[in-house]
């Protein structure tokens, strides 16, 4: 990859050790001759990511999600350094960042381009999500009746607590907690997972990349909440359908050379078991 000459640094000061790590990494960047800008503000200051080569996010996955939309719009790759818990998105540990940061700044990393969801709830109400779009009752957790269409064809009507529309990246987030499938980040699909459906046969459905989904509220008197990555909400007018599709935008996410997705999944989810022993030859 190209060397990084101008770097934006986003620090979540609420994470233990984040400020100290930021001081160490920015010192390395200055030593390497990289120009810096830094913030702890959320949402990001206006045009904070303009005219930089990359953005280093020091925090947890939630911190990175708060930057993802702007980074995708500006075509800026994100280097995620984990100071949170799981860290599926912030793929560099603090120790890895300290050891490899100068090499990263010289282009010693690979990029994966993660798909995002485009969601619209009416004119002027539009947003992008890296992980998921959640649709539920606006006020409480009462059951809602939601009708789903794919490319104009009725899929089914759900009576449930809500629906999660997930990217492959977001399959390890709320989708997984709700019983949805794990999906490799390179798969070009959308996962739709109902939350506590009132019918035992309702399970996740996987849609192809080019699908145009539409969700209609069939619960009289209920207003819906549409949450983007659990951080931003879109308003929904009464009777207005919610449109969801895979965006043309992608998020460029930096990974160390030799990064293994399944190695990360095994570690983060505490999967047990090793490679099966080869069967012994019969005498």
Residues taking part in catalysis? 61
Q: Around 197, how many Cα atoms within 13 Å sit in the side-chain half-sphere?
A: 19
Classify residue 8 as exposed, middle or buried by CB count within 10 Å of its CB (0-12, 13-18, 19+). Answer: buried
Cα separation of 101 and 86, whole Å? 21
CB 192 within 8 A of CB 134: no
Distance, in Å, from the CA atom of 174 to the CA atom of 3, rounded to the nearest integer, reads: 35
Q: What is the torsion angle, in degrees rounded to the nearest 10, for the CA atoms of residue 258, residue 261, residue 267 and residue 271? A: -130
The CA-to-CA distance between both ends of the chain, in Å, stands at 54
Number of Cβ within 10 Å of residue 120's Cβ equals 18
- Distances in Å between the Cα of 187 and the Cα atoms of 17, 23, 191, 246 are 35, 37, 11, 12
Q: Which of 37, 84, 47, 94 is nearest to 64 (CA)?
A: 84
């Amino acid at each position: 990859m190209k060397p990084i000459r101008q770097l934006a640094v986003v620090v979540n000061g609420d994470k233990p050790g984040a400020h100290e790590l930021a001081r160490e990494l920015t010192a390395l960047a200055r030593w390497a001759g990289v120009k810096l800008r830094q913030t702890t503000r959320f949402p990001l200051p206006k045009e904070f990511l303009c005219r930089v080569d990359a953005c280093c996010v020091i925090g947890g996955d939630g911190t990175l999600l708060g930057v993802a939309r702007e980074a995708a719009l500006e075509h800026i790759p994100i280097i995620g350094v984990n100071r949170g818990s799981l860290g599926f998105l912030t793929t560099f540990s603090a120790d890895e960042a300290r050891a490899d940061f100068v090499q990263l700044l010289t282009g010693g990393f690979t990029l994966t381009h993660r798909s995002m969801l485009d969601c619209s709830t009416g004119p002027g109400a539009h947003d992008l999500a890296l992980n998921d779009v959640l649709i539920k009752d606006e006020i409480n957790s009462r059951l809602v009746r939601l009708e789903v269409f794919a490319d104009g064809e009725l899929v089914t009507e759900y009576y449930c607590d809500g629906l999660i529309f997930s990217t492959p990246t977001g399959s390890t987030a709320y989708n997984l907690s709700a019983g949805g499938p794990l999906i490799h980040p390179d798969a070009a699909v959308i996962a739709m997972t109902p939350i506590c459906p009132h019918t035992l046969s309702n399970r996740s459905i996987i849609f192809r990349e080019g699908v145009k989904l539409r969700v209609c509220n069939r619960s009289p008197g209920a207003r819906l909440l549409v949450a983007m990555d659990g951080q931003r909400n879109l308003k929904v007018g009464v009777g207005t359908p919610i449109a969801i599709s895979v965006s043309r935008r992608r998020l460029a996410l930096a990974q160390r050379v030799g990064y293994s997705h399944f190695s990360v999944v095994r570690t983060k989810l505490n999967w047990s078991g090793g490679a099966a022993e080869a069967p012994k030859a019969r005498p």
